[in-house]
């Protein structure tokens, strides 16, 4: 498994080059939702100076809600953020956007609003000491705890190559962990957040967009940084979970690490869901890579954890949208997980089908002739995760295709999926 593309860092940051290559599914990409764009490989929203506007999960159809949830990610600054839609399941906001909480909850009383916080960096351009996108302010750390700034093997402090204002903190330091959890817990109480969205959860920082060839002097070995991350999550997440949700953005963990890390938290986010590129019509994950991502969803739910799946692409890429959502619907259970398709800032997929309500699951997903299928009370989700085989699938009933025509079978080319409503 290869490594994933840079996370989309949604925080304020200078514009960074867009890297679109992503890790193969089995490799656990490391794309994080960083307030707006999680570190290079996380979300990677490549828009300079954007704030994470909102990551909202709402039921399949804007007002109904029997289908497993959807998540709409918004990364825009101030006035660019659209009016909150109804029926959100989760919303993730940039810390300074706390004033939006009340309006969002008026429209969706059951919504859980999370604040974005990065665990691995402090930022010299964040300004002030309150409502920071990190747990520790740059000025405070620089003045009182310079030892928290990690250095490379040349003795220099390390800022991230893709985001020069982001400085690498020592996540393995017990003192840093205590300061981080105190700061975040204080912000959660003060602004009445329901929880925290933790970005920066990484197995290694040895990616071009982070270190660009530099080596962390304190964590030079291949597993050293992963152990530091484990110590951070083991000590910090359970403390915050006593009163709040803790959802971590994890993309480059090995399967074993992923299982361990998600156990410390309320849930996990997975970017580059079924698609390793933000470009239209490319990067579809198939075969074992696709199966690996499905296993993460199933394992999170078996542990009663939240699972947020995010796919990136143009707003008119219906094929990517359908493949990603149908794949999610195959295994989504209960009311804790959610899927989101994230087109460019401030927009939403124009097709109403990405929210089409197909009802509640009627039975578990099953595989027939290489195609996966799951029936719902009001429709069906079908997925062909093959890299090369086209399959004709009899549906055993009448359904409406994306054009509104009644069909009794569908042709599924490689790496495609459909969510079809039952014909009345």
Give 212-221 pLDDT, tens digit per residue: 999 999 999 9
Neighbours of 408 (CB within 10 A): 11
- Beta-carbon contacts of 400 under 8 Å, excluding residues fewer than 6 positions away, are 406, 407, 420, 421, 422, 423
Give the sheet arrangement for strand 121-123, strand by strand.
121-123, 163-168, 159-160
Give 365-411 pLDDT, tens digit per residue: 999 889 999 999 999 999 999 999 999 999 999 999 888 899 999 99
Give 47-93 pLDDT, tens digit per residue: 222 233 334 333 333 333 455 665 544 434 444 444 555 566 888 88
Check if the beta carbon of residue 285 is closer than 8 Å to that of residue 275: yes
Give 334-377 pLDDT, tens digit per residue: 778 888 887 665 566 666 666 778 988 999 999 988 999 999 99
Give the sheet arrangement for strand 338-342, strand by strand.
52-58, 69-75, 338-342, 306-312, 267-271, 245-250, 195-201, 112-118, 90-93
Check if the beta carbon of residue 287 is closer than 8 Å to that of residue 385: yes
Q: What is the pLDDT of residue 356?
A: 77
Q: What is the pLDDT of residue 347?
A: 61
Neighbours of 103 (CB within 10 A): 11
| End-to-end Cα, the chain, rounded Å | 45
Q: What is the pLDDT of residue 337?
A: 87
Tell me the domains of the chain and their CATH numbers: 25-355 (3.20.20), 358-424 (2.60.40.1180)
Check if the beta carbon of residue 51 is closer than 8 Å to that of residue 96: yes
Q: How far apart are CA 315 and CA 200, in angstroms?
A: 27
Give 273-287 pLDDT, tens digit per residue: 999 999 999 999 999
3-state secondary structure of 90: strand
Q: What is the pLDDT of residue 199?
A: 94
Q: What is the pLDDT of residue 63?
A: 31
Q: What is the pLDDT of residue 59?
A: 34
pLDDT reading at 251 higher than 90: no
Give 108-162 pLDDT, tens digit per residue: 788 888 999 999 999 999 877 789 999 999 999 999 999 999 999 999 999 999 9
Give 3-33 pLDDT, tens digit per residue: 334 444 443 332 232 333 333 333 332 223 3
Residue 310's H or E segment, with its range, is strand 306-312
Q: What is the pLDDT of residue 87?
A: 62
Task: Give the count of alpha carbons within 13 A of 351, CB side only.
Answer: 21
Q: What is the pLDDT of residue 369?
A: 86
Neighbours of 304 (CB within 10 A): 11
pLDDT reading at 42 higher than 80: no
Give 174-196 pLDDT, tens digit per residue: 999 999 999 999 999 999 999 99
Q: What is the pLDDT of residue 4?
A: 39
Q: What is the pLDDT of residue 37?
A: 35
- Beta-carbon contacts of 361 under 8 Å, excluding residues fewer than 6 positions away, are 68, 332, 333, 374, 375, 376, 377
Q: pTM value?
A: 0.83
Q: How far apart are CA 104 and CA 101, in angstroms?
A: 5
Q: How far apart are CA 415 and CA 385, in angstroms?
A: 5
3-state secondary structure of 408: strand
């Amino acid at each position: 498994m290869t490594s994933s593309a840079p996370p989309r860092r949604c925080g304020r940051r200078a514009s960074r080059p867009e890297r679109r290559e992503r890790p193969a599914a089995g490799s656990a990409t490391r794309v994080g939702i960083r307030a707006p764009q999680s570190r290079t490989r996380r979300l990677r929203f490549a828009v300079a100076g954007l704030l994470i506007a909102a990551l909202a999960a709402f039921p399949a159809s804007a007002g109904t809600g029997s289908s497993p949830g959807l998540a709409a990610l918004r990364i825009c600054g101030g006035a660019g953020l659209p009016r909150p839609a109804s029926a959100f399941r989760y919303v993730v906001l940039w810390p300074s956007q706390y004033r939006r909480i009340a309006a969002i909850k008026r429209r969706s009383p059951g919504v859980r609003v999370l604040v974005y916080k990065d665990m691995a960096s402090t930022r010299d351009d964040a300004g002030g000491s309150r409502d920071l996108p990190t747990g520790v302010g740059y000025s405070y750390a620089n003045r009182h705890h310079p030892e928290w700034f990690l250095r490379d093997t040349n003795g220099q402090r390390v800022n991230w190559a893709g985001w020069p204002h982001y400085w690498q903190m020592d996540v393995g330091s017990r003192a840093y962990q205590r300061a981080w959890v105190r700061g975040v817990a204080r912000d959660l109480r003060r602004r009445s957040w329901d929880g925290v969205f933790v970005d920066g959860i990484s197995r290694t920082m040895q990616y071009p967009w982070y270190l660009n060839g530099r080596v962390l002097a304190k964590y030079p070995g291949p597993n050293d940084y992963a152990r530091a991350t484990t110590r951070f999550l083991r000590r910090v997440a359970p403390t915050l979970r006593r009163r709040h949700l803790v959802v971590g953005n994890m993309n480059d963990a090995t399967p074993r690490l992923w299982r361990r890390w998600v156990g410390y938290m309320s849930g996990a986010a997975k970017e580059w869901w079924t698609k390793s590129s933000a470009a239209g019509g490319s990067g579809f994950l198939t075969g074992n890579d696709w199966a690996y991502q499905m296993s993460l969803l199933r394992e999170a739910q078996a542990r009663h954890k939240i699972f947020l799946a995010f796919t990136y692409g143009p707003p008119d890429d219906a094929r990517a949208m359908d493949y990603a959502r149908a794949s999610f619907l195959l295994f989504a259970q209960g009311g804790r997980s959610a899927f989101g398709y994230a087109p460019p800032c401030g927009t939403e997929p124009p097709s109403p089908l990405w929210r089409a309500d197909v009802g509640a699951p009627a039975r578990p997903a099953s595989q027939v002739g290489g195609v996966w299928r799951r029936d719902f009370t009001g429709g069906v989700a079908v997925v062909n995760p093959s890299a090369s085989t086209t399959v004709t699938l009899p549906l055993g009933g009448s359904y409406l295709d994306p054009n509104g025509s009644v069909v009794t079978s569908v042709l599924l080319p490689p790496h495609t999926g459909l969510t079809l409503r039952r014909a009345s």
